Structure 1
Amino acid sequence: MTRISLSKNGNTPFEKIIGHNTEILTKWCDLEETLWQNSSLNKNLLEQIRRAMAFEAGCEYCMVKSGRPDFNESEIKISVAISFAELFCKDHHSILDGHFSLLKEYFSEKEILELCTFISFVNASQKLGKVFHLTEDFQKNAVVKLKDL
């Protein structure tokens, strides 16, 4: 059971929580679509980041959607991005200039901006999912059970 009831607005349980305010729901969904569809970053990279962050946030709803990150560790660009995203989730205060120096080895400044914006949005979404207690039971598109992770 979620901590607040699901509204009638939205397509997913997550959207139905936000749907208590349709203006917020609309803008939230617009931003999500923009981040996924209009980014210069590869969609696989974004998905691997989203997956990794789900475990940092402890959002069951997000963890069971696609499971753990699934990439070859030799893919340095994805590894660097995930490491940065995990650090952002754990303690954004500990991010130093050196972290940005490393990002600049693999990403343009535009990509770094998009990466940080995406990470911020996903972090907020997943924390909302955790706070409102969206468990794996609400995830209709689950590919894995929490007990198997």
Structure 2
Amino acid sequence: MTDELYLAVEDFRNNPDFTPREKLAAAFAEQYAIDHTAIDDSMWSQLKELFSDTEILELTITCGFCVGLGRAFQVLDIARDFDVLWSREPPTD
């Protein structure tokens, strides 16, 4: 992955440089982080079209780990080296 593509992840839906699998994985991860209870049958169907069951499990566990780690850092008030808006939620400043 190039630095340019990494920096373009914020607009993954509209960027033709991302593959369909990358776009779907990013959409799943975003939904998992913002409102995991809203992941519906449509999302699971899309995932099953492009990913194996093992890949879906790995993606789900990775999302859970990353969300959990981010929350632990927040609870522990661990400073960040950079300012990133991790979701579409408005900043709390």
TM-score in terms of structure 2 length: 0.67
Corresponding residue of 2:33? 89
**Bigger-Rg structure (1/2):** 1
Aligned to 1:106: 50
TM, length-normalised to structure 1 = 0.44
- Correspondence list, 1:10-21, <5 A: none
Cα deviations across residues 38-61 of structure 1 (Å, max 9, x unaligned)?
xxxxxx6xxxxxxxxxxxxxxxxx
Amino acid at match of 1:146: D
For the aligned residue pairs, the C-alpha RMSD in angstroms reads 2.6
- Any unmatched runs of 5+ in structure 1? 1-43, 45-65, 140-144
- Against the structure 1 CA distance between its residues 80 and 146, is the aligned structure 2 distance closer, same or farther, given a 3 Å change threshold? same
* Structure 2 equivalent of residue 63 of structure 1: none
Report percent identity of matched pairs: 28
Question: Counterpart of 2:89?
Answer: none
Q: Distance in 2 between matches of 1:68 and 1:128?
A: 27
The equivalent residue for 1:69 is 9
Equivalent pairs counted in the alignment come to 76
Unaligned stretches of 5+ residues in structure 2:
85-93
Q: Provide the rounded CA distance (Å) in 1 between the counterparts of 2:21 and 2:44.
A: 13
Counterpart of 1:146 in structure 2 is: 83
